[in-house]
């Protein structure tokens, strides 16, 4: 279970499998030599990246780590992980020293990156690699509208006055990880085309399995349907439909690859 108390839905998350896999493959393409040792897929979810990691590092133990039972069940069915561990990323500790910790679209669910990322770096073997991708979308309308609407509609539960986005700028990660080795850090904005949907806004169909979850988890069913309808309506201005009904959904992501000295 996540901190919201409700489990993830592999099915809803999997709707945009291609769009969500692309950044992981872009990250993997920047991982070069990795010394002997296990490969950890941290926050592996349903295992979307597992086959690519297994193909890239054949013969290695591939260990998946996640907190969601539903996601871990899906990952298990793939058969590419040597082991799948249920653990909270906030305090996960590797059993055997990993050669590569690869984390796609997961670490933004855990706060305190200034402690978390150095802790992960210290777990690696000499020459080991930490490769991370996270959404950096918190200032975009898709995410800002969730906060604005939730605090306007349910001020008793949502107050973002002292809120800070959980993901920093790429250069801050470059500074944070520099003491541990060579760091490459960058950001990419993917202009995603989302097809029209029968009801609601396509961007909501994208965010409802991820960014929207912690919001509706704190609402009754009636409140959630009012919130979702308001969100659908508000998304039309920043993400207007194109003539074929699809929308362009720019989505920013931050990447880093740390290579420790051998």
Q: Give the residue, chosen from 78, 80, 89, 248, that forms a contact with ligand SAM under the rule CB under 6 A.
A: 89
- Return the H-helix or E-strand segment holding 158: none
How far from 48 is each of 10, 63, 76, 144, CA to CA, in Å? 10, 13, 11, 27
Determine whether 85 is exposed, middle or buried from the number of CB atoms within 10 Å of its CB (0-12, 13-18, 19+): middle
Produce one character per residue of 13-52: b if its CB has 16 or more CB atoms within 10 Å, e if not: bebbeeebbebbebbbeebeebeebbbbbbbbbbbbbbeb
Q: Give the residue, chosen from 27, 31, 100, 104, that forms a contact with ligand SAM under the rule CB under 6 A.
A: 104
CB of 48 to ligand SAM, least distance (A): 4
CB of 139 to ligand SAM, least distance (A): 19
Q: Judged by CB under 6 A, does residue 255 bind ligand SAM? A: no
Residues 151-210 that bind ligand SAM (CB under 6 A): 210
Strands of the sheet containing 62-66, edge to edge, are: 83-86, 62-66, 38-42, 98-104, 129-135, 247-259, 182-194
Site string for ligand SAM, 2-21 (x = CB under 6 A): x-----x-----------x-
Give whichever of 105 and 260 is closer to ligand SAM, judged by the CB atom. 105
Site string for ligand SAM, 29-68 (x = CB under 6 A): --------------xxx--xx----------------xxx
Q: Judged by CB under 6 A, does residue 99 bind ligand SAM? A: no
- Residue found by looking up tokens 């979850």 in the block: 213
Tell which phi-psi region holds residue 3, choosing left (phi > 0), alpha (psi between -120 and 50) or beta. alpha
Which one of the spans 31-39, 83-91, 115-123, 243-251 is the region binding ligand SAM (CB under 6 A)?
83-91
CB of 49 to ligand SAM, least distance (A): 5
Residues with Cβ within 8 Å of 165's Cβ and at least 6 positions away in sequence, in order, are 136, 138, 139
Q: Give the residue, chosen from 38, 105, 131, 219, that forms a contact with ligand SAM under the rule CB under 6 A.
A: 105
| Token pair in block for residue 52 | 């690519």
CB of 242 to ligand SAM, least distance (A): 26
Please give the residue ranges that form the binding site for ligand SAM (CB under 6 A). 2, 8, 20, 24, 43-45, 48-49, 66-68, 71, 88-90, 104-106, 109-110, 210
């Amino acid at each position: 279970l996540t901190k919201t108390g409700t489990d993830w839905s592999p099915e809803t998350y999997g709707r945009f499998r291609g769009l969500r896999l692309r950044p992981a493959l872009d990250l993997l393409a920047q991982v070069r030599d990795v010394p002997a040792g296990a490969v950890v897929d941290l926050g592996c979810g349903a295992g979307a990246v597992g086959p690519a990691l297994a193909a890239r590092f054949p013969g290695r133990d591939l260990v998946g780590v996640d907190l969601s039972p539903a996601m871990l069940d899906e990952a298990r069915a793939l058969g590419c992980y040597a082991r799948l561990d249920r653990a909270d990323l906030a305090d996960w500790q590797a059993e055997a020293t990993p050669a590569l910790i690869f984390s796609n679209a997961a670490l933004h669910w855990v706060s305190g990156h200034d402690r978390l990322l150095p802790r992960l770096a210290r777990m690696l073997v000499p020459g080991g690699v930490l490769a991370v991708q996270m959404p950096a979308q918190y200032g975009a309308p898709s995410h800002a509208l969730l906060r604005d609407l939730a605090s306007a509609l349910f001020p008793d539960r949502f107050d973002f006055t002292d809120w800070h986005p959980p993901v920093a700028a790429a250069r801050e990660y470059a500074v944070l990880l520099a003491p541990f080795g060579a760091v490459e850090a960058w950001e990419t904005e993917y202009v995603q085309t989302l097809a029209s949907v029968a009801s609601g806004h396509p961007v909501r169909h994208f965010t409802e399995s991820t960014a929207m979850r912690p919001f509706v988890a704190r609402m009754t069913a009636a409140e959630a349907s009012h919130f979702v309808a308001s969100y659908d309506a508000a998304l039309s201005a920043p993400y207007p439909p194109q003539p074929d009904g699809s929308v362009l959904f720019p989505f920013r992501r931050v990447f880093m690859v740390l290579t420790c000295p051998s």
